[in-house]
């Protein structure tokens, strides 16, 4: 068993595992063909339709079409990302789907892998994180989602700040924000590090560049229209949905759907509460636990959180565990999270159970909520820095 463990914990083995998974999942999705999902005026769609949405956004951008309306002849859902993201997808849009999808999933897998590898932890702890989140990453890639990429951007930004590179940190955070708007939550990390003014200047520079770079393929008036349409669509997206979130759990278990604004406000207060402990900003574990807190929070308080989104939260849960000395109660919680989050969408649980209980009652969100509450408590009551984790 020790030999197997030592083998799996090698960086080149993990790199091969993540790469093969990305390519293998992509080939599987393409070979599955089309679903039997139909919408009025639409057709059957591929099992990797999220990637189709991303790819088609590039052609809509250069064709001067509104990015943020439904095109049922090609995709089953709305495009919700920035015009800059649509431009970036031009690098894959002309490739055959099997190649482009494999490259897309590989980008997500490697962004997460190198983000974790950059953390200020011992090699064995970083490898533990990568093995723990692997199944959740596969779930995200099976849906051709961008969540692995966003998690990688947030991790890389945190480690660049820790290493005194505010320009690179700002780049990763701006990139994450232009992938998914809620990636902007990572900007609060700059409070922990020196060079705040330099970071803010770099952030403004990157923000302007990212916002205007679509002008390479579209005119100013059209780009302004795209941003207006994006803002409108995002405002309308604040619907009655609750997702696999704190609100989803409270609504499905207790019928508290009308308390959405109160829960959101409370969640925001609890997110910022640890930042009141200014004297702990220089403590390495405090920074790592806050990063874990942020990664979990951004999912469990997201009213649109879906199963593939949880690769971000699982990365936070793994970071919480491996950034501390082992303890039985933390190990027990880690396994509860693994079973409740990573295994519930799999065939280990029969489809009938998933459909009747696990999904309607937001079971996947509950371990994340529990761990997040503990992280917040630790951040608020921490009294001393632990032994080295190297």
Above 60 in pLDDT, residue 290? yes
Mean pLDDT check: name the lowest of 71-85, 155-169, 176-190, 306-320. Answer: 71-85
Question: Average pLDDT for residues 150-178, to the nearest whole number?
Answer: 96
Above 90 in pLDDT, residue 230? yes
Give exposure, 116-150, as e/b (b: 16+ Cβ within 10 Å): bbbbbbeeebbbbbbebbbbbbbbbbbbbbbbbbb
Report the predicted TM-score, pTM, of the whole model to 2 decimal places: 0.94
Mean pLDDT check: name the lowest of 209-213, 216-220, 256-260. Answer: 256-260
Both structure tokens of 57? 């956004």
Mean pLDDT check: name the lowest of 24-38, 157-171, 211-225, 330-344. Answer: 24-38
Both structure tokens of 309? 């989104």
**Mean pLDDT (the chain, rounded):** 91
SS3 42: coil
HSE-up of residue 128 (Cα within 13 Å, Cβ side): 17
pLDDT digits 0-9 by tens, 94-126 = 999 999 999 999 999 999 999 999 999 999 999
Query: Per-residue confidence at 388, pLDDT binned at 50, 70, 90?
Result: very low
Mean pLDDT check: name the lowest of 190-199, 250-259, 290-299. Answer: 250-259
pLDDT at 238: 64
Mean pLDDT check: name the lowest of 236-250, 276-290, 309-323, 355-369. Answer: 236-250
CA dist 245 and 236 (Å) reads: 19
Q: Please name the residues in contact with 350: beta carbons below 8 A apart, sequence gap of 6 or more.
A: none
Helix axes 310-322, 365-381, angle to 10 degrees: 40
- Which of residues 386 and 163 earns the better pLDDT score? 163
**Eight-class DSSP state of 304:** T
Closest CA to 111 of 46, 172, 188: 172
Bridge partners of 34, per DSSP, are 46
pLDDT digits 0-9 by tens, 53-82 = 999 999 999 999 999 998 888 888 899 999
pLDDT digits 0-9 by tens, 24-52 = 999 999 998 766 555 555 567 888 999 99
């Amino acid at each position: 068993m020790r030999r197997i463990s030592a083998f799996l914990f090698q960086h080149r083995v993990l790199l091969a595992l993540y790469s093969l998974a990305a390519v293998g999942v992509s080939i599987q999705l393409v070979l599955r063909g089309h679903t039997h999902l139909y919408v009025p005026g639409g057709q059957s769609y591929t099992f990797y339709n999220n990637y189709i949405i991303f790819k088609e956004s590039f052609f809509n951008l250069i064709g001067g079409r509104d990015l943020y309306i439904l095109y049922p002849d090609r995709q089953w859902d709305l495009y919700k990302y920035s015009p800059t993201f649509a431009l970036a997808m031009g690098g894959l849009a002309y490739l055959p789907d099997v190649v482009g999808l494999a490259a897309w999933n590989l980008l997500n897998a490697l962004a997460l892998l190198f983000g974790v590898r950059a953390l200020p932890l011992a090699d064995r702890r970083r490898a533990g994180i990568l093995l723990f989140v692997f199944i959740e990453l596969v779930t995200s890639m099976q849906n051709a989602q961008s969540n692995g990429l966003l998690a990688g951007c947030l991790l890389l930004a945190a480690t660049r700040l820790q290493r005194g590179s505010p320009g690179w940190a700002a780049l990763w955070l701006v990139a994450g924000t232009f992938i998914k708007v809620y990636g902007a939550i990572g900007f609060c990390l700059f409070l922990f590090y020196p060079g705040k003014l330099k970071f803010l200047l770099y952030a403004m520079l990157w923000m302007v560049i990212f916002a205007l770079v679509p002008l390479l393929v579209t005119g100013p008036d059209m780009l302004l229209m795209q941003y207006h349409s994006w803002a409108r669509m995002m405002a309308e997206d604040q619907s009655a949905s609750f997702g696999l979130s704190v609100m989803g759990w409270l609504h499905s278990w207790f019928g508290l759907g009308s308390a959405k604004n109160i829960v959101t406000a409370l969640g925001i207060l609890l997110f910022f509460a640890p930042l009141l402990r200014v004297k702990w900003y220089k403590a390495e574990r405090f920074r790592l636990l806050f990063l874990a807190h942020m990664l979990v929070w951004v999912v469990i308080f997201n009213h649109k959180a879906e199963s593939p989104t949880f690769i971000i939260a699982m990365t936070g849960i793994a970071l919480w565990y491996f950034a501390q000395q082992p303890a039985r109660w933390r190990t027990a919680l880690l396994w509860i999270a693994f079973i409740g989050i990573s295994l519930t969408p799999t065939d280990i649980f029969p489809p009938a159970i998933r459909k009747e209980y696990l999904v309607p009652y937001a079971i996947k969100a509950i371990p994340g909520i529990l761990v997040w509450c503990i992280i917040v408590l630790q951040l608020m009551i921490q009294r001393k820095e632990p032994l080295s984790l190297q």
